[in-house]
Each structure stands twice: as C-alpha cells, then as structure tokens.
Amino acid sequence: MRLIRINKEKCTGCGICVQVCPLGSISIVEDIAVISESCTLCGACVSGCLSNTIEIVGKKEKINLSEYRGVLVFGEQKAGLVSPIVYELIGEGRKLADTLGEELSCVILGNDVKKQARDLISYGVDKVFIYDVPCLASFRDDPYTDILIDLVKKIKPNIFLIGGTSIGRSLSPRIASKLKTGLTADCTGLKIDPETKLLLQTRPAFGGNIMATIKCPNNRPQMATVRYKIMKRAEKIQGYCGEVINMKFDKEMIRDRVKVKEIIEEEANVNIIESQLIVSGGNGLGKPEGFKLIYELASCLDGVVGASRVAVDKEWISYYHQIGLSGKTVRPKVYIACGISGSVQHLAGMSRSDTIIAINNDPSAPIFNVADIGLVGDLYEIIPELIKEIKKNKHGINNP
Ligand SMILES: Cc1cc2nc3c(=O)[nH]c(=O)nc-3n(C[C@H](O)[C@H](O)[C@H](O)COP(=O)(O)OP(=O)(O)OC[C@H]3O[C@@H](n4cnc5c(N)ncnc54)[C@H](O)[C@@H]3O)c2cc1C
C-alpha cells in the first residue's frame, strides 16, 4: 500500500505543489498543503517541493514485465459485424508483433461471433479469443470491462490496442485505470523503440501544435487507442493459420449498473467517414447560406459535406460534419477544402486523403502546403464555375 504524506512542520505553504499537480489535487489550507483523494501518487509534487516536505511512503507494486508478451486487439463489433477500425488495428498490431517477434491476438465479445472470429484469422491474427453469449450481443460498459480485464490478467499482453470509437473511448480508460496502467488516447503513430522495445505512442498534444511521444515503461499492458482511418487496413493473407479460443467467464461479471433502453445509430457519422469524396466548407464561406453551394458541389460529385470547426462553432452546420482534431478523421479519395485556411487541427483530420483540392483566396494559406491542386480565388466565383462544368460533363468522381 502506498501513501502520500506531508510533513506539516516543514511545509511553508508556498503553493508550488499546487501549481505542479497535473490533477488539481492539492490546495493550501491555513498555510499548509492538503492533498485530496483524487491524487494518483504520480509524484510530481514530490519532485517539485523545494523544502522536501512531501513524500510517498510504502512500496510500489513491481510487476514482472517479462511475463507480458504479444499484441492484443479489441475486436469491436456492432450487431455482429466487426467494426472497420478493427482491421486497421490488426494491420498495425501485426507490424508491432512482428517487430517484437511476438503473437498478435484479438478478442471479440458478442453473440454468434464464431464466423467473424475465424474470418479475422485470415487478416494475420494468431489467436482470436471469443466470449460468445447472447447477453454480450451489444456493448455494455460493466461486463465488457470486467471480462476484458479478466482476459488481460490471464493472457498478459504486452500491448493492448483499442479503437478510438465511442465504445473504445468508454472502455479503454476503465480498463487502464483498473489495471493501473497507462493509456494513450487517439494515437496517430505507433512503433517499437529498437533499443528498449517499448511501444512509442505518438499523438497530437497542446491543441495539435506539437506531437508528443509517450512511453509506458513500468506498467503493462501498454495501452493505446487509435482513431478510425489513421492506420492502414490489414490485407487478407491467403492460408494464414490461427486459432479460435472459446473463453469461459464468471457469470458474476455480467452485472450491469447501466440499463440500455435503445441504441440509435447516427447515419450521418458513418457516411462522412466512409465517403470517398468530401467537400468541406470553412470560415471563408462568410455566412451559413454558403453551405448551399458546398452541398450543391458535393451532390454533383456524389460526395458528402464536411466542415471546419469555425463553421461548426458559428452554427452554420452541425458538429457531425466537423473534420479535424476534435472532429472526425477522414481518408477519402478526394477532399475539397473550400475557404479553409488549413490549421494543424484541421489537417489532423484530413491530411491523409489521397488527393486534396483547396479553394482559397489567400495564396499563402497553409492549406496549399498539403494540397495537390490549389485554386486561388474567391470560392463564390470558382465553385459555381466548377458546378457548371461538372454538370456539363455529368460524370462525378464516385460515378464515372
Ligand atoms: C484543441 C483544438 C481543437 C481544434 N479542433 C479543430 C477541428 O477538429 N477542426 C477544425 O477545422 N479546427 C479545429 N480547431 C480550430 C482551428 O485551430 C482553426 O481555428 C480552424 O480550423 C479554422 O477554420 P477555418 O479554416 O474554416 O477558418 P479560418 O482560419 O478563418 O480560414 C478561413 C480561410 O478562408 C479563406 N477565405 C476567406 N474568404 C474566402 C473566399 N471568399 N473564397 C475563398 N477563400 C476565402 C481565408 O483566406 C482563410 O484562409 C481546433 C482548435 C483547437 C485549439
């Protein structure tokens, strides 16, 4: 058991610990530092304290890192269909496992998922663990968390990858905190450090202005979530051999504090992420009506409409359409940015598109640094001309 202790005799109430605590767990009460229950014993205050007043006592539980081997991927499914993000995690997981010389496994919870489990093997998975019972058909926080923690304790994976979906975002912090390990959310890059063999987890930080690389040296598994459309999808490998393992679990784990009344799917979400052609509008539209033009261009090309955050913040279009760091990540064949400057946060969501076309009246706009085709000029002059030409030829990119 570890405890944090403040020597009241020595504490000067200087407040440095309050400033360095990343969780806001310390306050100064009557000139003495007081630590609240939200403290995670990270130790930032211990090293920050100039008068050596704060100490962590007790032994830190040491885990045997060498017991942890292999890469595990959470095989998220909805209505029995494996989510597309899983194939991307498998593609990335396979590379990590090969670099480490370890196995790649996958876990699926659901009802009647044996066929899906067998199919995953053909993407290069060595083992698929399945929990196949009707009560796990749809995602539920408590049982899914407890079962996955139980699996991790049994198979001890070195790395655990989960999709940065709404399900993954609910599940991963619960699992990480109960296992007392680290979690890096929304990674854009994963690789193995050739010297330490640790997982290097890269993600945008400070509003996307820097890329941070995070390591988890002392705890296992090393956990990361990755958003959809960031990594390359795994290809089928003909004749790949793997094993499907039926897992048993304690019925106690089926407890649930939450009752799901109804699941409502948001079609708009799926369409934008999956679309091969996106026409996005930004602040350069100048007014909400500008989106009529964006919709018209998108419709001529059989595409869908995206937006920058400024356009969403101004309520010209709903959040469903937002592309970028705090919106959706997309990877269409063609992305047309209209009146969008190309901030790092917007690029974080679309720079992996195959072809980027930018329409902007400022030739020095950063969007032109990533654009394959740049049209400099007023979008209200360029887009109607484009629509006229496309209609004349009547062949959209999605409909050749
Ligand atoms: C933590 C954080 C998360 C964020 N997440 C996101 C995110 O997910 N997505 C996102 O988009 N942003 C995000 N942002 C905001 C981001 O920093 C920018 O503010 C935003 O992307 C700018 O939107 P914009 O390009 O539409 O607007 P602006 O930067 O105002 O650019 C408008 C562009 O339109 C051009 N223009 C003006 N009039 C015309 C015209 N008539 N014809 C042609 N061009 C014209 C201008 O030259 C300019 O380049 C985030 C910021 C932070 C701090």
Strand partners, 307: 281, 322
Point out the ligand 1 atom lying closest to the alpha carbon of residue 378.
42
Ligand 1: does its nearest atom lie under 6 Å from the Cβ of 329?
A: no
pLDDT by position in tens, the chain (length 400) = 678 999 999 999 999 999 999 889 999 999 999 999 888 888 899 999 999 999 998 766 778 999 999 999 999 999 899 999 999 999 999 999 999 999 999 999 999 999 999 999 999 999 999 999 999 999 999 999 999 999 999 999 999 999 999 899 999 999 999 998 999 999 999 999 999 999 999 999 987 889 999 999 999 999 999 999 899 999 999 999 999 999 998 888 888 888 888 877 665 555 898 899 999 999 999 999 999 999 999 999 999 999 999 999 999 999 999 999 999 999 999 999 999 999 999 999 999 999 999 999 999 999 999 999 999 999 999 999 999 999 988 654 555 4
pTM: 0.79
Q: Does residue 339 have its Cβ closer than 6 Å to ligand 1?
A: yes
Any atom of ligand 1 within 6 Å of the Cβ of 343: yes
- Quick check: CB of 127 below 6 Å from ligand 1? no
CA dihedral (17, 21, 24, 28) in degrees, to 10, reads: -10
Query: 38 C-alpha vs ligand 1 centroid, how far in Å?
Result: 37
Token pair 């885990």 in the structure block, residue: 63
d(CA 113, CA 234): 20
Can you give the C-alpha Rg of the chain in angstroms? 25
Q: Is the CB of 306 under 6 A from ligand 1?
A: no
**b/e code 144-169 from CB counts within 10 Å (16+ = b):** bbbbbbebbeebbbbbbbbbbbebbe
Q: How far is the CA of 157 from the centre of ligand 1 (A)?
A: 41
Work out which ligand 1 atom sits closest to the CA atom of 281.
26
| Pairing, β 71-74 against β 159-163 | parallel
Q: Is the CB of 145 under 6 A from ligand 1?
A: no
Question: What is the token pair recorded at 296?
Answer: 């018209």
